[in-house]
Amino acid sequence: MAFTYLGLKANYQRHMVTESEVDRHIERLQQQYPRIAVVTDRPTENGDEIVLDYAGFCEGVQFAGGTAEMQTLVLGSGMFIPGFEEQLLDKVPGEEVTVKVTFPEQYHSEELAGKAAEFKCKIHEIRVKTPYELDDVFAKEVGDCDTFPEMKEKLRESLQSYTDGRGEMDLQDRLLRAAAETLDYTPTEGEIEEAVQEQMNNLRAQLSQQGLTLDMYMQFMNTTEAALREEAEPTAIAALRTEAAIDRIVELEGLTATQEEIADMLAIVCQQNDMTMEQIQEYYDAELEAAIRRSVLTGKAMGLIRDAAVITEV
């Protein structure tokens, strides 16, 4: 079979965002961004969010890590050590309070575990969080729109754009895999082993972010590393085939990555990782540059396949 990457055929089903999806997203925004009102006509109660300064002392000596300014704390949340929050109830802004507590025996700092301490506190503000009404105020303060209907329409357009983008990525991925299936290429055992190992490394990294190890995962899933490697092999082979297909397209079409295109892609990487161009320079080496260049060429190859494809919307 000849390598075919032009004129491929594929179906594309566009998902249109529904009214209920827009409403659910608005409800999530309503929960994520409550309305904050400053309370001035009563003392603190359970459930209030207060703004305070505090300084901790143990045996008359101020200890490290026990001092903060303009710290927010929800009374009754249990975020601070037992007994701390209760002593800040029935207080008013401007009031200074000495909170007396005893650190738990199992406290993470051995120097403080089981010891009595005092925190000199000053309350600056009492706040109450309540859900917004779904009105123009909500639109202005949360949605940066003049009216609620305008916010809803803007949100619908944003969700549709996101959904279309995901659908387009899926379509291009399917087209690339279809092209790869026509490529006369069989990866070597060494290449497959390397690709499987990369998948295992990625799995370990993902588990680590969740505070888990591979052994814990295997125990929970009642599986073995050998079984995981066997399961990963088909995906690894498919990835190798698509990489080889991209290489062939780049060669056949004479695709290149200009310095401007590499810079643009690097800017996207910075944005995705919340970094500045100056910060990423610390990590910019030949390996990263090669990965950026590869990303540009992959995008060009996939775009070329997409533009030449025959797409049927269903």
Per residue in 38-52, pLDDT tens? 999 999 999 999 999
**pTM of the full predicted structure?**
0.71
- Cβ neighbors of 178 (< 8 A, separation 6 or more) are 8, 10
pLDDT of residue 163: 96
- Residue 87: what pLDDT? 96
What is the reported pLDDT for 109? 85
Q: How far apart are CA 175 and CA 190, in angstroms?
A: 27
In three-state secondary structure terms, 303 is helix
- Distance, CA of 102 to CA of 115 (rounded, Å): 5
Calculate what percentage of the chain has a pLDDT beyond 90: 88
Q: Which residues of the chain have pLDDT under 50?
A: none
